[in-house]
């Protein structure tokens, strides 16, 4: 019987993976729930699998070459930087992500961070807890309608962000070199170059995938091109922004404030970490996707992708072998 093996189930300790079991078993397939930590454990556990599901474990050329029956890698999430996609292609294995399971959820956290930064909610809370009760604490606040927000990337999540935030009156611009012009026109969003975005945006929000080309996309040179007092939001991937450049910008005042749901190296347990020493940086522990509804959809879509592949069909959410 064809088998779907979930490799690192311990990432979701509260899940019993009932959706995967129900959907796969109804289609006549088997599900096995694993707790792998090493490449050797993956190969042993999934040696007969046609499809594997993974959250964070690296899926390498070595692993792919050791799983002769493998037809697809299903990534539990939007990003798939833990999977060697080029190796998947060489082995004729689909790499599939879940591109649409948490659009509203990531967008709503982006909105929350925008409001938090512009109205200084977290910063005022910290000040009050120190007994200061200072209405003039920190930087100046501005009306949303006076600001321009720039979106780096204009994919599914960014377009959801645009639809959610634009009605608040903030002017919005976006940069994405890969989309056709009509994608921007349909949304009514002004398309700009990256340098134009840096020069015009009061708030910049990052919505690109993490690749070699986007590693430290925002670095010292990029920050030097931005408006003085810019605010940064990152709900994409941590290494897209250079941590050193961000901290330097926040300490110098070049960057007024930043809100990060992702950081270069996760998790951060050290309370003396440099990011935590900057009072104008807000950090959340990679939770943009984390709602009950998104989790439910993630498990269902992962199971449906596995069934699709085992049925001999081409999955809509493949990122290779197009």
- The domain that contains 157 carries what CATH number? 3.40.50.720
Average pLDDT over the chain reads 98
Question: What proportion of the chain, given as a percentage, has pLDDT over 90?
Answer: 99
Whether 237 is a known active-site residue: answer yes
Confidence of residue 72 (pLDDT cuts 50, 70, 90): very high
Confidence of residue 322 (pLDDT cuts 50, 70, 90): confident
Confidence of residue 94 (pLDDT cuts 50, 70, 90): very high
Note the pLDDT of residue 242: 99
Is residue 7, in this structure, part of any structural domain at all?
yes
Is the pLDDT at 180 greater than 90? The verdict is: yes
Is the pLDDT at 78 greater than 90? The verdict is: yes
Do 130 and 68 lie in a common domain? no
Number of Cβ within a 10 Å radius of residue 277: 12
Is residue 140, in this structure, part of any structural domain at all?
yes
Is residue 127, in this structure, part of any structural domain at all?
yes
Average pLDDT over residues 49-74: 98
Whether 25 is a known active-site residue: answer no
Confidence of residue 256 (pLDDT cuts 50, 70, 90): very high
Provide the number of structural domains found in the chain: 2
Is residue 58, in this structure, part of any structural domain at all?
yes
Do 93 and 187 lie in a common domain? no
Distance of CA 197 to the CA centre of its chain: 21
Do 114 and 219 lie in a common domain? yes
Do 306 and 267 lie in a common domain? no
Is residue 319, in this structure, part of any structural domain at all?
no
**Domain ranges, residue 64:** 3-101+291-310
Residue 43: which H helix or E strand, with range?
helix 39-45
Average pLDDT over residues 297-305: 98
Is residue 320, in this structure, part of any structural domain at all?
no
Do 31 and 97 lie in a common domain? yes
Residue found under tokens 């020069």: 199
118 near 203, Cβ under 8 Å? yes
Question: What proportion of the chain, given as a percentage, has pLDDT over 70?
Answer: 100
Is residue 144, in this structure, part of any structural domain at all?
yes
Number of Cβ within a 10 Å radius of residue 308: 21
Is the pLDDT at 134 greater than 90? The verdict is: yes
Task: Single out the residue of 173, 165, 151, 174 nearest to residue 108, CA to CA.
Answer: 165
Do 219 and 266 lie in a common domain? yes
94 near 318, Cβ under 8 Å? yes
Do 164 and 270 lie in a common domain? yes
Do 127 and 49 lie in a common domain? no
Is residue 317, in this structure, part of any structural domain at all?
no
Q: Which of 159, 237, 299, 318 is flagged as catalytic?
A: 237
Average pLDDT over residues 274-301: 97
Which residues have CB under 8 Å from 112's CB, separation 6+? none
- 19-53 pLDDT, tens digit per residue, is 999 999 999 999 999 999 999 999 999 999 999 99
Is the pLDDT at 223 greater than 90? The verdict is: yes
Do 140 and 229 lie in a common domain? yes
Do 70 and 88 lie in a common domain? yes
Q: Which of 91, 216, 286, 300 is flagged as catalytic?
A: 286
Do 108 and 90 lie in a common domain? no
Q: Which of 25, 266, 293, 313 is flagged as catalytic?
A: 266
Is the pLDDT at 1 greater than 90? The verdict is: no
Note the pLDDT of residue 74: 99
Whether 266 is a known active-site residue: answer yes
Do 259 and 116 lie in a common domain? yes
């Amino acid at each position: 019987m064809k088998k779907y093996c979930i490799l690192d189930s311990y990432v979701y300790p509260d899940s019993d993976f009932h959706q995967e079991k129900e959907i796969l078993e109804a289609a006549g397939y088997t599900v096995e729930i694993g707790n792998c930590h090493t490449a050797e454990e993956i190969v042993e556990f999934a040696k007969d699998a046609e499809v594997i599901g993974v959250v964070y474990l690296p899926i390498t050329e070595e692993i792919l070459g050791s799983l002769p029956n493998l037809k697809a890698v299903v990534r539990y999430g939007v990003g798939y930087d833990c999977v060697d996609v080029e190796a998947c292609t060489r082995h004729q294995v689909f790499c599939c992500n879940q591109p649409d399971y948490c659009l509203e959820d990531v967008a709503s956290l982006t909105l929350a961070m925008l409001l938090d930064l512009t109205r200084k909610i977290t910063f005022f809370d910290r000040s009050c807890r120190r007994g200061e009760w200072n209405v003039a604490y920190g930087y100046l606040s501005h009306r949303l309608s006076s600001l321009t927000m720039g979106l780096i990337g204009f994919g599914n999540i960014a377009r959801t962000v645009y639809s959610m935030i634009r009605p608040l009156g903030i002017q919005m611009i976006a940069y994405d070199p890969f989309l056709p012009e009509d994608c921007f026109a349909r949304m009514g969003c002004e398309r700009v170059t990256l340098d134009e975005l840096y020069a015009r945006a009061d708030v910049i929000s990052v919505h690109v995938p993490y690749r070699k080309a986007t590693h430290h996309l925002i670095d010292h040179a990029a920050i030097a091109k931005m408006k003085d007092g810019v605010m940064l939001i990152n709900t994409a991937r941590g290494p897209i922004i250079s941590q050193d450049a961000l901290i330097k910008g926040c300490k110098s005042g070049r960057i007024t404030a930043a809100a990060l749901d992702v950081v270069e190296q996760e998790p951060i347990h050290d309370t003396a970490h440099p990011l935590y020493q900057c009072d104008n940086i807000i950090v959340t522990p990679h939770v943009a996707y984390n709602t009950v509804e998104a989790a439910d959809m993630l498990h269902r879509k992962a199971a449906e992708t596995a069934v699709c592949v085992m049925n001999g069909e081409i999955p809509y959410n493949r990122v290779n072998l197009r």
